[in-house]
Amino acid sequence: MDIKLISDNKTINIEYEIINKNSGTHYINVDDREELGNELDRLHKKGMFDKYKISYTYTVHDDYIVLILYEAFEFIR
């Protein structure tokens, strides 16, 4: 599923970004907050984050959401 970005009317396919291990920062329209949450939930249930060792964080601001995808840290004991 593609999520709309606020720059240049582009979209992001988060699943594609995970599979290709593309780390990066994405600015999403705040109106798409529920859609983003649903997509992240779907990808968690599918096991995509664990399978490809990708993590994310996002912060919600007044008029945009910042989504950051990055390689998960592995701690070796």
Contact between 34 and 42 under an 8 Å Cβ cutoff? The reply is: no
Look at residue 76 in the predicted model and tell me its pLDDT: 59
**Residue 40's Cα: distance from chain center in Å?**
7
Q: Reduced to 3 states, what is the DSSP secondary structure of residue 36?
A: helix
Q: Examine residue 22 and state whether it is found in any structural domain, yes or no.
A: yes
Q: What angle do CA 38, 41, 43 make, to 5 degrees?
A: 110
CA dist., res. 40 & res. 31, Å (int): 16
Q: Examine residue 76 and state whether it is found in any structural domain, yes or no.
A: no
Look at residue 59 in the predicted model and tell me its pLDDT: 96
Local confidence pLDDT in tens for the 77 residues of the chain: 788 888 767 889 999 999 999 999 999 999 999 999 999 999 999 999 999 999 999 999 999 999 999 997 766 55
Look at residue 9 in the predicted model and tell me its pLDDT: 74
Q: Examine residue 34 and state whether it is found in any structural domain, yes or no.
A: yes
- Residue-range definition of the domain harbouring residue 61: 2-71
Q: Examine residue 66 and state whether it is found in any structural domain, yes or no.
A: yes
Q: Examine residue 21 and state whether it is found in any structural domain, yes or no.
A: yes
Q: Per the structure, how many domains does the chain have?
A: 1
The conformation of residue 34, written as its DSSP 8-state character, comes to H
Q: Examine residue 62 and state whether it is found in any structural domain, yes or no.
A: yes
